[in-house]
Structure 1
Amino acid sequence: MATKKSSFPMNKTASRSSLVPWLGIAAIVILLDQLSKITITRLFSYGESKALSSFFNLVLVYNKGAAFSFLAAESGWQRYFFTAIGIGAAIFIIYLLRRHAGQRLFCWALALIMGGAIGNVIDRALYGHVIDFLDFHVNNWHWPAFNIADSAICIGAALFIVDELRRVGK
């Protein structure tokens, strides 16, 4: 019994220390996302666009909904709904990171998704909408504008799929 008690704190400490790199990745995503949004809001007026290439613009737009402006036209309840989903996702991701801290690709995916989710939660909490500014297009067809948080979520989702395909392939 004494062995179990003395090893428990070490395991708890090891678990916390193995969580730190993943939280650090999420924090970097949040920092880059928020700094980019602060910069764009200082340099651009709402709706202003600047072409940087034949397929890419910077544009300042707000999204009160979710991906692709889903539910953006609603009365405002969606702000709280998507904020709650983002917070819930972050809590669940921390749980998963603790349980699977040694699975590198899986944890990279989760850390990127969590950083992106929290980045957009910050926007909703502070402004009531998400700040988007990356506008890719082909001729007159534009993808919906997005931000670094959205990019991190998409990259994380892609890594998650790759990780799952690798596991199924084994």
Structure 2
Amino acid sequence: MGIFVVKALFFFLSIFLVIVIDQWTKLSVLSHFEYGESLPVIQNFFSITYVRNTGAAFGFLASANPGFRVPFFLIVPLIAMVVLGFLYRDLPKDARYRSMALGLVSGGAFGNLIDRVRLGYVVDFLDCHWKTDYYFPAFNVADSAICVGVAILLLSTFKQTRDLTHVSTPVRN
């Protein structure tokens, strides 16, 4: 299998798997939970809780005027996916992990965009908390894929930068 095919496989398979798993889990929550309903999975630590997020990460802009918020959250992901497509195109042919990372981010952005277009909000349901003292904002598979993809991109960038700074130079006499 050619290197280009492997790069494309990592990218498009990542997008496909994220969208399928994300949408399947959200449909499961929508069909089995009432809005606000919570099911403890690990007592005092993790629950499945059906939340509607009209904002972005951590509810950012959730209370903004819908005349601004709705178009903003439809246009920004589309622009992001175009930018990610250009980044993918410019990757070296052997950049499998960065290709997969861009696929994770793209799949996550597309998964949440599907919710916004179909429902007008994003379905969040993964609810991490510490007893009743601290609650991390609920999130979903798409959000997780975006975070993991960004982490892989950052790590690969740091590794690439480190590798470039540690290139041995010939000793001159």
In structure 2, C-alpha distance between the alignment counterparts of 1:57 and 1:112, rounded to whole Å: 24
Distance 1:52 1:169, change over 3 A: same
In structure 2, C-alpha distance between the alignment counterparts of 1:87 and 1:16, rounded to whole Å: 25
Stretches of structure 1 lacking an aligned partner (at least 5 in a row): 1-13
Normalising by structure 1, what TM-score? 0.87
Determine helix, strand or coil for the equivalent of 1:51: strand
User: Once superposed, which parts of structure 1, at least 4 consecutive aligned residues long, lie more than 3 Å away?
Assistant: 14-18
Q: Which of residues 30, 48, 62 in structure 2 aligns to 1:41?
A: 30
Q: Which of residues 111, 114, 119 in structure 2 aligns to 1:119?
A: 111
Higher mean alpha-carbon deviation, 98-107 vs 157-166, is at 98-107
Distance 1:15 1:80, change over 3 A: farther
Q: How far did residue 93 of structure 1 move?
A: 1.1
Count of residue pairs brought into register by the alignment: 158
In structure 1, C-alpha distance between the alignment counterparts of 2:126 and 2:139, rounded to whole Å: 5
User: RMSD of aligned C-alpha atoms?
Assistant: 1.7
Q: Which of residues 157, 160, 163 in structure 1 aligns to 2:153?
A: 160
Q: How does 1:9-20 map to 2 (within 5 A)?
A: 18-20=7-9
Q: Which residue of 1 aligns with 2:59?
A: 69
In structure 1, C-alpha distance between the alignment counterparts of 2:8 and 2:83, rounded to whole Å: 13
Question: Which is richer in helix?
Answer: 1
Determine helix, strand or coil for the equivalent of 1:52: strand
Stretches of structure 2 lacking an aligned partner (at least 5 in a row): 164-173
Q: Which amino acid aligns with 2:48?
A: L
